[in-house]
Amino acid sequence: MELRDLPSVDELARAVGDPLAVAAARSVLSRAREEIAAGGEPRDLEERVRAELAATRAPRLRRVLNATGVIVHTNLGRAPLAEAALERVLEIGRGYSNLEYDLDRGARGSRQEHVIDILRRLTGAEAALVVNNNAAAVLLALAALAEGREVLVSRGELIEIGDGFRIPDVLARSGARLREVGTTNRTRAGDYEKAIGPETAVLLRVHQSNFRVVGFTEQPSVAELAAVAGRHGLPLVDDLGSGALSARNGLALGDEPTAQESLAAGADIVCFSGDKLLGGPQAGILVGKASVLARIAKHPLMRAVRIDKMTLAALEATLRHYQRNEVETSIPIWRMIAARPEKIASRASSWASKLQAQGVPARLQRGE
């Protein structure tokens, strides 16, 4: 085939007869020219334009099968939502709602009201606040409590979560100054005590979400840190990251601390994600002392990181499952975490044989 045998962009687009066909025809023809230059015989040009159009119109964001073995996978959308959460998103997204309207008083209300009580009951906190995600929760808390002043953080907790979320950078953006205490592997409550001065505004504790320091290590407990913070009248903020909401469902959480435990041990503010071990939508949840949360809620950044109505609908429905003790039956990630190894093995072997039947090489491998 010669280059001059190819149709023009317009001819090809007209043959397909689709309003978006010109751009598709252009890209198909440009590939066809390369193929001719390489000695090929490009065929089915109209078919290729139609395929290109179908790809252009198909949703970019789509479902995938998670075969990684990682249940809460950030690149694959973290927690799948519970059925009830999805139903509530449809219901609230479809029409108008009392998002910021108090139906009893017939007056303007707060979107926060829809989840405050349930979060208080579930965690034992005095008050609660929800925002766009946990990164926003940390940023907001530090901006509101420590702008222009110092935040004490252990050198062992100056972490990067992934995708560039680094505690020292977030701290800098909040307008607070980082004051490092202790060492990478060992930090004691006394290190915080010694570092406290007139400029200190907050003691921040950060959960080492995705790494461990092993060997000769020491980190103070929340209770020890709370005692130091309390003696100096400073708030202790505990960024739990994953933030399992409850150990009540009887599943081993390893060393994942729960929000209740941290609050009971004396943290003033505990923050965690909505779409990690909670198993809900992307959100940042802050629970703790009413007086401290009131300062955070008043900060101008609050408006920039506010939670959306669909998220709020899904979050409320997810929290209701906790309230009704339906975590292991209704929240997808907890159903997966609770799945018995025999069941997982039989599902995997059924997958493997189906794949093998299709000629796909597949074998079973047990991970720990």
Ligand X SMILES: *Cc1c(COP(=O)(O)O)cnc(C)c1O
Check residue 305 for interaction with ligand X (CB under 6 A): no
Tell which positions 148-177 bind ligand X, by CB under 6 A: 161, 165
Between 53 and 222, name the residue whose CB sits nearer to ligand X.
222
Shortest Å, Cβ 165 to ligand X: 6
Q: Which is nearer to ligand X, 32 or 202 (CB)?
A: 202
Q: How far apart are CA 112 and CA 109, in angstroms?
A: 9
Q: Shortest CA distance to 154 belongs to which of 134, 132, 183?
A: 183
Q: Does 257 bind ligand X (CB under 6 A)?
A: no
Single residue of 220, 235, 241, 280 touching ligand X by CB under 6 A: 241
Residue among 123, 130, 115, 140 nearest 286 (CA): 130
CA 299 to CA 297: how far, in whole Å? 6
Question: Is residue 273 near ligand X by the rule CB under 6 A?
Answer: yes
**What is the C-alpha to C-alpha distance for residues 143 and 147, in angstroms, rounded to an integer?**
5
Q: By CB under 6 A, tell whether 207 contacts ligand X.
A: yes
- Please, which residue, 12 or 136, has the CB nearer to ligand X? 136
| Residue 289: strand, helix, or coil | coil
Q: Going by C-beta distance under 8 Å and a sequence separation of 6 or more, which residues neighbour residue 284? A: 130, 131, 132, 133, 134, 135, 136, 137, 138, 140, 271, 272, 273, 274, 305
- Lay out the site mask for ligand X across 87-116 (x = CB under 6 A, - = otherwise): ------------------------------
Q: Which residue is nearest to ligand X (CB)?
A: 241
Shorter beta-carbon distance to ligand X: residue 145 or 161: 161
Among the listed residues 134, 174, 219, 249, the single contact to ligand X using CB under 6 A: 134
- What is the distance between the alpha carbons of residues 353 and 330, in angstroms, rounded to a whole number? 29
Do residues 282 and 314 touch, judged by C-beta distance below 8 A? no
Which one of the spans 19-27, 45-53, 129-137, 230-238 is the region binding ligand X (CB under 6 A)? 129-137
Rg (CA), the chain: 27
Q: How far is the CB of 309 from ligand X (least distance, A)?
A: 18
Chain residues in the site for ligand X (CB under 6 A): 133-135, 138, 161, 165, 206-207, 209, 239, 241-242, 273, 284
